[in-house]
Amino acid sequence: MRLFGSNNERLDFIMDSFYKLSPGQRNGAFALGIGVITAFIISAFFLYFTEVRILESELSESLSSLKDLKDVRLIDIDKEKQFSKLVETVLVKTRGVSFKPFFEKMTKEKSIAMKDLTEKESDLDSTNPLSDSLKEVRVELRFPQVSIPRLVNFITDVEKSEHYIRLKDIKITGQYGNKLYFDTTLSFRGYASKK
């Protein structure tokens, strides 16, 4: 081996040097050697246990992170189920709804004269998670002469219809010389299936 030299000449040199020492010096060299070996062994054990502790800590953190990830995934799955249920509910309640006949029926039931009704469909914003399944329908109605109580009842009944139709905008204009009736424009938002 190269460590001891060819024919162990380095090892022989160390041994010769050791035997040339006086007995006290030999004891000192021996104690020094034992001390160095002991310090090396203690350092090795200290390093080993330190690394083991670090690995255990990292393993504990990894297991904790894995548990957190599993918890988040379970929450995510639950939210996906809730979202799918919501989409299905909206699809069921909006399936077969024709907005123009619906609003015409509601105005007749409330005895409100309607002047205009326009219906416009548009895609939902692509960031909206409902955009894959639903499109937005906007309906604008114009009532040339309606009282506030009748208007409030009409809006309430439309929103209670369970077709997910909601008032988006309202514009009320007073009529000259008439304090009971108003020109009103209502804008409603609803949903329809893309399919």
Task: Give the CA angle between residues 132, 135, 141 to the nearest 5°.
Answer: 170
Q: What is the distance between the alpha carbons of residues 23 and 30, in angstroms, rounded to a whole number?
A: 10
8 Å CB contact between 163 and 101: no
Say if residue 138 is exposed, middle or buried (CB neighbours under 10 Å; 0-12, 13-18, 19+): middle
- Tokens for 15, please give them: 């041994």
pLDDT truncated to tens, each residue of the chain (195 aa)?
565 556 667 767 777 777 777 888 877 877 888 898 899 999 998 999 999 999 999 999 999 999 999 999 999 999 888 888 888 887 777 777 788 888 888 888 888 888 888 889 888 888 887 778 788 889 999 998 888 888 899 999 998 887 888 999 999 888 777 778 888 999 999 888 876
pTM of the complete model beyond 0.85: no
